[in-house]
Structure 1
Amino acid sequence: MKIRVIGRWGAYPKRGEATAGFLLEIGNHKILLDCGSGVLSVLQNYMGLHELTAVFVSHNHFDHMADLGSLQYACLIDMDLKQRDTPLRLFVAKDSNDKWTIPVMKGTIEQEINQDTIVTFDDGLTLTFFRTDHDVYCLGVKISYKGKSLVYTADTRYDETLVPYLKDADLLITEASFYANFDAAKYGHMNAVEAGELATKAGVKKLLLTHLPHFGDIQVLREEAALMYKGEVVLADLGLQVVL
């Protein structure tokens, strides 16, 4: 199981980078976790877009789904050029009250998911989902494969009810949108200290901080998380790959 940082910024991308996006490689699967602004450009440094097998979209904020439209154009073109054999599966978080839609084109298939959905692939790879505390309907995802697990919270306020979903994960990818002296919950997010506390309560083996702020010294975020979590804390960096 390999996970690569494609985008690490909240709100908007810094020059040459991207907002939320992670490439998960397991066996024959290449799964994109969120598809924020700039993700498609960065992703092509590591693979062709026709190689993607699935995409998970955690919620309908632009910094997590802005490149979805362009991705669908890419899939349409790749189908016509015979570079893609099967449509790309889009697992899109929605609840019964969601009215937003994405244009589904030739080359993509949208599957709406909620916190009760379970996606299982034929080699045993399993994706389960849980609702997070954000300003819109938002899902985190747990990826399980051959005894290893990775959890990506997407966006959330600090919420101890998430602990059972994160429990004992080999890697927890969670946001650190603000520094310790900020009331992150006001904005629907967590600060770095809260991220560390959540990781400790869940007993995860490694913590990766993402959804980074555009102000201050972001290295401080790792130090603040380490005040609460004594395991390895990694600050997301462009192109960083973690192997589990």
Structure 2
Amino acid sequence: MKVTVIGMWGGFPKVDEPCSGYLIEHNEEKVLLDCGSGVAVKIGKYMDVNTLRHIVVSHSHYDHASDIGVMMFSRLVNTITEKTDVVLTIYEPYNEISSQHPESVKFSEFKSYEEDSVLKIGDMSIRFLEMNHPVKTFAMKISTDDKTVVYTADGTISEELKEFSQGADLLITECSLYEWADGENTGHMNITDCIELVKDAGVKETILTHLPHYGEINDLLETAKQSGIENVQLAQPGLTIEV
């Protein structure tokens, strides 16, 4: 699998740096995990957006899902103008608002999922774990025959998440807070939580993402390395990893 970070900021984007969006490619298939603010502008740098068939959204917060609407209208216009004939399928946790979006825009369709769902996209399988977050949110495990990528989306650390992430070749984990901040009440992880998750799950490689807009974010990386984690880096737009 090839993993490309489209964007990685929590809450809101920076100039030329979107919120959450991660492109997963395997063989001929491409899947976009989350589509936050700014992702629709930048994804064209990494692929022909008219060929994208699948977007899997972890939850409905704007920094993970706000660009879904413009992606659907892009597909509408480009289908009418005969630039594509590919239907865009959007997978989201079911809620009344998200289920109505594709019904109002042709050439997109909505499919809901729950914790026990398994999505089959090409040779990839995607499984889910519900997270502790203010709205219904799911971590995702993307697997091929011999490789696994886990994306935590947003939520607090738990024994269930450690088990879900066990032995992953790549962990993309939210790291919203510095070690002195407690994320329990807001449904987020700090760097200390991330370190615990990486070590207890025994993952091989880690990307810290959903980064804070304050402080010195390189301190997050240094804290992780000082704890003994070596194969770790901060997410940044365009970062690509072959798993």
TM-score range, shorter chain: over 0.9
- The separation in 1 between residues aligned to 2:240 and 2:93, in whole angstroms, is 26
Q: 2:219 maps to what in 1?
A: 220
The within-5 A match list for 1:223-242 is: 223-228=222-227, 230-242=229-241
Q: 2:168 maps to what in 1?
A: 169
Q: Aligned-pair distance for 1:130?
A: 1.0
Q: Aligned-pair distance for 1:85?
A: 2.3
Q: 2:178 maps to what in 1?
A: 179
Residue 24 of structure 1 pairs with residue 28 of structure 2:
no
Q: Aligned-pair distance for 1:228?
A: 4.2
Q: 1:208 maps to what in 2?
A: 207
Q: Aligned-pair distance for 1:165?
A: 1.0
Q: 1:118 maps to what in 2?
A: 118
Q: 1:51 maps to what in 2?
A: 51
Q: 1:87 maps to what in 2?
A: 87
Tell me which amino acid in the other structure corresponds to 1:185.
E
1:243 and 1:137, CA in 2 relative to 1: closer, same or farther beyond 3 A?
same
1:197 and 1:226, CA in 2 relative to 1: closer, same or farther beyond 3 A?
farther
Q: Aligned-pair distance for 1:227?
A: 4.2
Q: 2:97 maps to what in 1?
A: 100
TM-score by length of 2: 0.95
Q: 1:36 maps to what in 2?
A: 36
1:133 and 1:228, CA in 2 relative to 1: closer, same or farther beyond 3 A?
farther
Larger deviation: 221-230 or 199-208?
221-230
Deviations 1:21-56 (A, max 9, x none): 011111111111000000011111122210212001
The within-5 A match list for 1:115-194 is: 115-121=115-121, 123-194=122-193
Contact persistence 2:8–2:210 (CA under 8 A): yes
SS of the residue aligned with 2:45? coil
Q: Aligned-pair distance for 1:223?
A: 1.7
Q: 2:5 maps to what in 1?
A: 5
Deviations 1:64-114 (A, max 9, x none): 0010110000011122122222311111122xxx33324212121110011
Contact persistence 2:173–2:208 (CA under 8 A): yes
Structure 2, unmatched stretches of 5+, are: none
- The separation in 2 between residues aligned to 1:31 and 1:81, in whole angstroms, is 24
Q: Percent identity?
A: 37
Structure 1, unmatched stretches of 5+, are: none
Contact persistence 1:92–1:112 (CA under 8 A): yes
Contact persistence 1:196–1:229 (CA under 8 A): no
TM-score by length of 1: 0.94
- The separation in 2 between residues aligned to 1:140 and 1:229, in whole angstroms, is 25
- The separation in 2 between residues aligned to 1:238 and 1:86, in whole angstroms, is 26
Give RMSD over aligned pairs.
Answer: 1.3
- The separation in 2 between residues aligned to 1:227 and 1:202, in whole angstroms, is 18
